[in-house]
Amino acid sequence: MGAKTKNLRNILYLIGAGPGDPDLLTIKAYKMLRKAEVLLFDHLVNHEMLSIVPDSCLKVYVGKEPYADFTPQEDIHTLIAHYCREYGAVVRLKGGDPYIFGRGFEELLFAERLGIEVRYVPGISSMQGTGFHHIPLTHRGVSDGIWALTGTKKDGRLSSDLQLAIQSNSTVVIYMGMKKLDEIARTYVMCGKGDTSAAIIQHATLSTQREVVCKVGDLLNAARGSGLSHPAIIVIGEVVRLYAAHRYNFVDSFQCNMY
């Protein structure tokens, strides 16, 4: 997939690493990694995946650890340009899916402005990890769809779309929202929906995965009581209580439980 030569066509492979478990890589992603000569990888990429690439592969960490050290997006762009120019092809491995809160499209736009061809390989998004906890994102008669929202916009604010999502009959999934639990809870309470079922899922699909289930109005206390922090996703909606209701016949009340 590219030797160190300037005669090859420059290609950027935007690959989704999935929610964490290496076995959830697509076959195509695995094949690309097996041939990689340059790998730019994110903070949320499971390091077990680094063993898939050849020993000769140049591995460059370009992660953005929440509320800690991070590689500026502009620096990542510079590295993409440099390594595509020097090697001909670069594998960009991003946690989840590159085009779902992964800033992958920003990298595509940058690369194409330089004449670099971009090839996309999708990954399983972290919100799909709810299935490993038997929480469906949709269910007939319970949830009509999914709102996937960011908990932290570029200016640091919570997405205003949450107000709209609350009024819908759909599941709400919030990425990067662990610093906004109190605000999320207050928004639901103010809309008269504080009793809506919710879950926080940390390290979905990994052996370290943990979950807490509670009423949305209790999100902050539930997270503190269970010691959960980022990286995690927040799932809000009646789909959260379906499996518990199925197993334990919890229909009218739903208490905060650790799974």
What is the CATH topology of the domain spanning 126-258?
Answer: 3.30.950
pTM recorded for the entire structure: 0.87
Over residues 152-169, the pLDDT tens digits come to: 888 888 999 999 999 999
Q: Is the model's pLDDT at 1 over the cut of 80?
A: no
Tell me the pLDDT band of 247, cut-offs 50, 70 and 90: low
Q: Which two tokens stand for residue 50?
A: 């680094």
Q: Up-side HSE of residue 61: CA atoms within 13 Å toward CB?
A: 11
Instruction: Give the chain's radius of gyration (CA, Å).
Output: 20
Tell me the pLDDT band of 7, cut-offs 50, 70 and 90: very low
Q: pLDDT > 70: what percent of the chain?
A: 89
Over residues 168-201, the pLDDT tens digits come to: 999 999 999 999 999 999 999 999 999 999 999 9
Q: What is the pLDDT of residue 246?
A: 64
Q: What is the pLDDT of residue 258?
A: 45
Q: Is the model's pLDDT at 96 over the cut of 70?
A: yes
Residue that has been written with the tokens 């949830």 in this structure:
143
Catalytic residue ranges: 42, 64
Q: Which CATH class is domain 11-121?
A: alpha beta
Q: Is the model's pLDDT at 66 over the cut of 70?
A: no
Q: Is the model's pLDDT at 236 over the cut of 80?
A: yes
Q: Which of 70, 73, 123 is nearest to 99 (CA)?
A: 123
Q: Which residue has the higher pLDDT, 258 or 203?
A: 203
- Any idea which of 10-24, 93-107, 240-254 has the lowest mean pLDDT? 240-254
Q: What is the pLDDT of residue 70?
A: 80
Q: What is the pLDDT of residue 231?
A: 87
Q: For 193-216, what is the mean pLDDT?
A: 94
Q: For 193-214, what is the mean pLDDT?
A: 93
Give the chain's end-to-end CA distance (angstroms, integer): 43
> Could you tell me the residue ranges of all domains in the chain?
11-121, 126-258
